[in-house]
């Protein structure tokens, strides 16, 4: 009889273990279910587990990069991630598409497995969903909470638990306009409760590759930063510390982990844009959305003087650039008001006669209210202005986050392009609104000469997040502060912006030994390759292609070095090579050489401290 009872018990235990093996594992006497998800190439694995708290973990090439980390959002005082359970069958679909982009390459590839997981929480009667997308270069998840009426979002449990000892590059959250410097640190050695901005880039332990913690598709939500505590980085809303109200369904932005085995994959990632909606059909390849180069007076001339503007426009024409930007100060011309508008209209007309289009600066206070914004936009459009640089936005709570969306929508309705300054980071919405040509959200040349560690970090951090208006390349000796002319020139290639607003007076460009290269610089690229030797905070070396011509640009940090570059990426035939390298004698000069090369050749890059290198390769048949 006892043997029969033991046999029944054994069969029951085997059945329970089998059931738990199907849905998860046995944990502390409770059966906590688990769902496993993989990237299309199988190299990224995500595990979602329920139980006391909803969590996720991520492995990359079989190595743990995100240790079990909390998921959940607190609504009306209830953390929906606590005491959760799966509430039905998950739905998975494959996404495989391509679409045009403006930036590091011509075409974005959006390939992922998208899974919607239904959930319930013991403490809340509201069923909700976790949506997860797993790409070959990262993971994104977001929360869907159905409902009507007004509810209050208090906070999120969302976090990234990173292996102690990993390297992190980030900027302090003390600067709400994202204009602090990027600096490195070691995970686990940062001060407790340190606030940092997203994005932040990681180099994982044990050769597990690179990552980036950030968000995408920010709308109807407050801007996210990160609160560091040991090896935990938790979603933190510094602009809405008491939370905010939402009416109707709650859909969070995507919480994103970019993953890359190498820096080439990291710099070419499209995951931020992939997580955003496609544009309306009329905005796809719209002819009025035109990438271009721009001259700008502010860094070398200060506020715009009316009697000098035609000379600036003439300089823009001489450079062959498409745009000239008139910044803050034009509204006081001729006493201000209608007289100022008339003066800028006359300049717009003159510029068009010279083949140059005008962008104009505006303080956000003039275009904050919908009725004021449309009136202003219509007036700018009526006199021929093609783009507006909107500046000095407030810290991005939900109201200001949605203001960006409304401004882009209104501008698109009038076929106006936009450059946001004093702005939050982009979150991929430039895919939805391709009339956003660039935005600041960066410590650029306007803040003075940045540390070379900052400059050599940017292409692997801020520019992975999206375009940025660095306003590069000052060829003024007294403004170099230890940098070299070659470093300054390389910025215009390494730092991508479809509206490439250059920082110097065109006279300095026209008198430079690099004038032909400066005239040839494109604002967008068909292909980008991160060159060997590149390392975050040390060296940013790129080869970029536009059409059949290639540009090579390297920005060096604090250690002088000699790097070699194999030209195997070139096509068949001979190429004319124009090199502009650091001078060993002085920082305000180039060493310029010209010769013929092929794909079998190798270049040597002699890089000074805070130095640089630029090469322009043109197919010989095109000469």
What pLDDT was estimated at residue 124?
A: 84
What b/e string do you get for 322-351 counting C-beta neighbours within 10 Å, with b at 16 or more?
A: bbbbbbbbbbebeeeeeebbebbbebbeeb
Mean pLDDT of 20-49: 71
Q: Are the beta carbons of 541 and 455 closer than 8 angstroms? A: no
Quote the pLDDT of residue 458: 98
As a whole number of angstroms, the distance between CA 104 and CA 569 comes to 16
Q: What is the percent of the chain where pLDDT is above 70?
A: 95
The verdict on residue 281 lying in a domain is no
The pLDDT assigned to 175 comes to: 75
Query: Any idea which of 134-138, 157-161, 177-181 has the lowest mean pLDDT?
Result: 177-181
Q: Is 288 among the domain residues?
A: no
Indicate whether 25 pLDDT > 60: no
In a domain, 395, yes or no: no
Q: If phi over 0 gives left and psi between -120 and 50 gives alpha, with beta otherwise, what is residue 173? A: alpha
For position 103, which CATH number holds?
2.70.98.10
- The predicted structure's pLDDT at residue 443: 97
The 10 Å Cβ neighbour count of residue 161 is: 20
The answer to whether position 210 is within a domain reads yes
When pLDDT is cut at 50, 70 and 90, the band that residue 123 belongs to is: confident
Q: Are 499 and 469 in contact (CB under 8 A)?
A: yes
CB 618 within 8 A of CB 579: no
pLDDT at 578: 98
Instruction: Give per-residue pLDDT as tens, 64-90.
Output: 999 999 999 999 999 999 999 999 999
Residue 3 pLDDT greater than 60, yes or no: no
Q: What is the pLDDT of residue 32?
A: 67
Calculate mean pLDDT across residues 317-328.
98
Q: Which residue has the higher pLDDT, 17 or 546?
A: 546
Confidence of residue 186 (pLDDT cuts 50, 70, 90): very high
pLDDT confidence of residue 621: 73
Angle of helix 338-353 versus helix 309-319 axis, rounded to 10: 30
pLDDT reported for residue 499: 98
Residue 287 has a pLDDT of 98
**Residue 208 within a domain:** yes
pLDDT interval class at 176 (50, 70, 90): confident
Region of poorest pLDDT, from 11-20, 140-149, 445-454: 11-20
- Quick: pLDDT tens for 394-425: 999 999 999 999 999 999 999 999 999 999 99
Total domains, the chain:
1
Residue 147 has pLDDT above 60, yes or no: yes
**Would 218 be classed as within a structural domain?**
yes
Rounded to a whole number, what is the distance in angstroms from the first to the last CA of the chain? 97
pLDDT at 506: 98
The whole-chain average pLDDT of the chain stands at 94
In a domain, 523, yes or no: no
Interval 571-611: pLDDT, tens: 999 999 999 999 999 999 999 999 999 999 999 999 999 99
Question: Using 50, 70 and 90 to split pLDDT, how confident is the model at 547?
Answer: very high
pLDDT above 90: residue 302:
yes
CA 38 vs CA 20, 46, 135: distances in Å:
20, 6, 8
Range of the domain at 154: 29-270
pLDDT at 512 over 60: yes
> What residues form DSSP beta bridges with 203?
167, 210
- What percent of the chain has pLDDT above 90? 92
In a domain, 310, yes or no: no
pLDDT at residue 242 tops 60: yes
Average confidence (pLDDT) over 516-526: 98
């Amino acid at each position: 009889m006892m043997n029969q009872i033991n046999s029944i018990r054994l069969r029951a235990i085997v059945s329970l273990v089998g059931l738990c093996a199907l849905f998860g594992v046995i944990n502390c006497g409770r059966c906590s279910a688990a769902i496993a998800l993989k990237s299309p190439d199988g190299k990224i694995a995500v595990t979602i587990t329920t139980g006391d708290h909803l969590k996720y973990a991520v492995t990359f090439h079989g190595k743990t990069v995100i240790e079990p980390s909390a998921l959940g959002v607190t609504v009306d005082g209830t953390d929906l991630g606590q005491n959760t359970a799966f509430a039905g069958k998950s739905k998975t679909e494959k996404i495989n598409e391509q679409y045009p982009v403006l930036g590091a390459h011509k075409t974005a590839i959006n390939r992922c497995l998208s899974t919607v997981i239904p959930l319930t929480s013991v403490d809340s009667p509201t069923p909700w969903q976790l949506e997860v997308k797993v790409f070959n270069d990262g993971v994104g998840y977001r929360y869907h909470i159905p409902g009507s009426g007004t509810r209050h979002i208090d906070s999120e449990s969302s976090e990234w638990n990173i292996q102690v000892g990993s390297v992190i590059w980030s900027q302090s959250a003390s600067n709400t306009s994202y204009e602090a410097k990027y600096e490195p640190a070691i995970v686990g050695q940062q001060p407790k409760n340190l606030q940092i901005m997203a994005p932040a880039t990681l180099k994982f332990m044990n050769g597990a590759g690179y990552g980036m913690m950030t968000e995408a598709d920010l709308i109807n939500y407050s801007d996210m930063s990160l609160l560091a505590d040991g090896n935990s980085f938790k979603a933190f809303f510094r602009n809405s510390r008491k939370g905010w109200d939402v009416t109707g369904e709650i859909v969070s932005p995507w919480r994103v982990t970019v993953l890359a085995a190498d820096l080439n994959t990291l710099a070419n990632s499209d995951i931020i844009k992939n997580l955003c909606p496609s544009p309306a059909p009329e905005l796809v390849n719209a002819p009025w959305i035109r990438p271009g180069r721009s001259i700008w007076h502010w860094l070398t001339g200060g506020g715009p003087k009316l009697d000098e503007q035609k000379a600036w426009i003439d300089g823009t024409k001489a450079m062959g650039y498409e745009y000239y930007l008139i910044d803050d100060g034009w509204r006081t011309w001729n006493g201000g008001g209608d007289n100022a508008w008339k003066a800028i209209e006359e300049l717009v007309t003159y510029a068009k006669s010279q083949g140059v289009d005008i962008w104009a600066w505006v303080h956000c206070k003039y275009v904050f209210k919908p009725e004021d914004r449309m009136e202003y936009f219509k007036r700018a459009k009526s006199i021929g202005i093609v783009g507006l640089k909107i500046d000095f936005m407030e810290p991005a709570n939900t109201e200001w986050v949605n203001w960006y969306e409304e401004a882009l929508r209104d501008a698109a309705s009038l076929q106006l392009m936009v450059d946001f300054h004093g702005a939050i980071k982009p979150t991929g919405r430039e895919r939805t609104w391709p009339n956003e040509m660039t935005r600041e959200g960066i410590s650029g040349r306007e803040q003075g000469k940045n540390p070379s560690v900052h400059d050599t970090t940017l292409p692997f951090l801020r520019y992975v997040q999206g375009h940025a208006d660095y306003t590069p390349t000052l060829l003024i000796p007294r403004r170099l502060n230890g940098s070299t002319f070659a470093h300054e020139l390389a910025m215009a290639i390494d730092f991508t912006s479809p509206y490439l607003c250059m920082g110097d007076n065109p006279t300095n460009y026209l008198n430079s030994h690099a004038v032909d290269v400066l005239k040839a610089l494109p604002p967008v690229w068909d292909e980008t390759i991160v060159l060997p030797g590149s390392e975050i905070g040390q060296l940013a070396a790129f080869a970029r292609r536009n059409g059949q011509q290639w540009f090579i640009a390297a920005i060096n940090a604090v250690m002088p070095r000699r790097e070699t570059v194999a030209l195997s990426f070139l096509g068949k035939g001979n190429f004319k090579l124009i090199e502009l390298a650091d001078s060993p004698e002085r920082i305000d000069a180039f060493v310029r050489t010209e010769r013929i090369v092929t794909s079998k050749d190798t270049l040597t890059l002699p890089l000074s401290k805070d130095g640089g290198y630029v090469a322009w390769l043109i197919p010989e048949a095109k000469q």
